[in-house]
Chain A
């Protein structure tokens, strides 16, 4: 009977396509918008990925990585003095302007790292040598800067090219592959001391202290020790969506709480849900009404209400799975170029497809329920009434 139910469904081409189209639209809108939202949120913590260190120590009021309150230079030594810390290094992070040879200015994210250990340097160097960062005026730029800082469009920045930061010379010695930042500016690394020279002087210039636990001590224990002994705030840096106590998590939640981004994306996701629900429920109910005479005949011939309900559920969930599959295919068509070009932001945590599937099946279950409600009340005697 379930096979016949599917043939009834596929045979009504118009309604079948309408149902599938509605669910494709809902799936695409929900999955794509959630992934773009997650991508955007992952951009907010891009600095944590591009400046790798197991532990970030910041001023006690800091909640997110893009808004650091400066520390005293001596705080590096205070962190180093904690027993469970293996090493600690200073970090400067700030937004600066680059002046190109043609006189134009570009916003950049300037990162100053410890010249000795190079702690916080980019992991993936695609051209040049990271150790050259210790040379005079040397900077490492990221793959975005290669095009963003090009003086002439189509002529990307290459090793040895020069530009100015705050009237001081900077020369490219390496190019790194990095994740794009939320602010949109490319990352430029230099040594901590040179970063201070590139930036306007302030009383306190240290943005954060990067640290790692001593061997045999857990990161969480080390974080607790640093906080207890220095009064500073220490965060783990395990990656996006890795849970409480992590700087990524804290940063993302700061944006969720303090910006309208989740509301904006949430509205779109809700619209996807409502449109999917409206199209699906209306069309499926209409499909059931169209087949009421046949369902009545089946009921008269001895099909139980349960069997008819099972047929409706099979039809609804089949449409749901097809719509979900095609919707995710379209989402993938959006995702591949987005991931290749790192724009627009796109990151789909494993839970998103499952969540969308759950919502789609919920829509289908609700649509089927409307039909089941009619079928349960259907008197088989109606088939004799012409």
Chain B
């Protein structure tokens, strides 16, 4: 008998997380008492209008940003990120988290193979091993014929596919995507998302996507809607729970 969704392993658990920037009168609280669970096997989308705190929230989950002193709990695969030292957080990130950025962030002077091999090289793997795995990953995302190309020689959709390969090459348990379709046209956005959902979805892996793009909501298992620094709604997507009207129109920056 298959396990229910509520029994799935938790990739990330946030409890009462607050984050503010600035001091005194210019202090701005961008996250207010955030409580969120990201489950393995799910594609969770974090949606909401610009400035609502989505990017800050994924930065905290990625361990690249600290929460306010004494604020809540951030647990990734049962590891308390807030108690980790900087070096341990960096190492944890390199082995457990894959990233897909809005503007791809591929290094323009490196070939596709070299770009994809970067996460493995960061882990200290040999160049030979890293490039072998990178080639395999590029084949999976349909970029076998572009291995030696540089990012500037690729279209936006192709660049995002290389970025997907880079996010997956070291087999991370959590993938964080920041607006993965924002720099792509509608057709390429759908194609890239279809591909991504296909290669990234795995029972022991969680995918967290920040997006405005309502066309890709159909790929989500859960949608967490944010507004004004708070999570206002978490919606499980399945046949019995269709996308509510307020989310189906998406958000525009």
Query: A364-386: contact bitstring with B at CB < 8 Å (1 yes, 0 no)?
Result: 00000000000000011101111
* A-chain residues with CB within 8 Å of residue B107 when the two chains form the complex: 4, 8, 291, 294
Q: Which of B34-75 contact A (CB under 8 A)?
A: 55, 58-59, 62, 64-65
* A-chain residues with CB within 8 Å of residue B1 when the two chains form the complex: none
Contact A301–B64 (Cβ < 8 Å): no
Contact B65–A301 (Cβ < 8 Å): no
Interface size on A, residues (CB 8 A): 28
Q: Contacts A300-B64, A303-B94, A386-B102: A1 and B108 contacting too (C-beta < 8 A)? A: no
Contact A298–B118 (Cβ < 8 Å): yes
Contact A307–B122 (Cβ < 8 Å): yes
Q: Which of B115-131 contact A (CB under 8 A)?
A: 118-119, 121-123, 127
* B-chain residues with CB within 8 Å of residue A7 when the two chains form the complex: 109-110, 114
* A-chain residues with CB within 8 Å of residue B58 when the two chains form the complex: 384
Q: Contacts A4-B118, A4-B121, A383-B101: A302 and B91 contacting too (C-beta < 8 A)? A: yes
Q: Which of A1-45 contact B (CB under 8 A)?
A: 1, 3-4, 7-8, 10-12
Q: Which of A352-372 contact B (CB under 8 A)?
A: none
Query: B182-203: contact bitstring with A at CB < 8 Å (1 yes, 0 no)?
Result: 0000000000000000000000
Cβ of B98 to closest chain A Cβ, rounded Å: 8
A10 and B123 CA atoms in complex are apart in Å by: 24
Chain B's interface size range is 20 to 34
Cβ of A18 to closest chain B Cβ, rounded Å: 16
Cβ of A376 to closest chain B Cβ, rounded Å: 11
* Chain A-chain B contacts (Cβ-Cβ < 8 Å), number: 82
Cβ of A359 to closest chain B Cβ, rounded Å: 29
Contact B105–A385 (Cβ < 8 Å): no
Q: Contacts A298-B122, A300-B64, A379-B64: A4 and B101 contacting too (C-beta < 8 A)? A: no
Contact B110–A11 (Cβ < 8 Å): yes
Contact B59–A8 (Cβ < 8 Å): no
Contact A384–B55 (Cβ < 8 Å): yes
> B219 at interface (Cβ–Cβ under 8 A)?
no
Contact B64–A297 (Cβ < 8 Å): no
Contact B110–A302 (Cβ < 8 Å): no
Contact of A301 among B94, B102, B178 (CB under 8 A): B94
> B95 at interface (Cβ–Cβ under 8 A)?
yes
Q: Which residues of B contact A (CB under 8 A)?
A: 55, 58-59, 62, 64-65, 87, 90-95, 97, 99, 101-103, 105, 107-110, 114, 118-119, 121-123, 127, 178
Q: Which residues of A contact B (CB under 8 A)?
A: 1, 3-4, 7-8, 10-12, 291, 293-294, 296-304, 307, 379-381, 383-386
**Given A293-B103, A302-B122, 16 additional A-B pairs, CB 8 A:** A1-B122, A7-B114, A8-B110, A291-B107, A296-B105, A299-B64, A300-B64, A301-B93, A301-B94, A301-B119, A301-B122, A307-B122, A383-B99, A383-B105, A384-B58, A384-B178
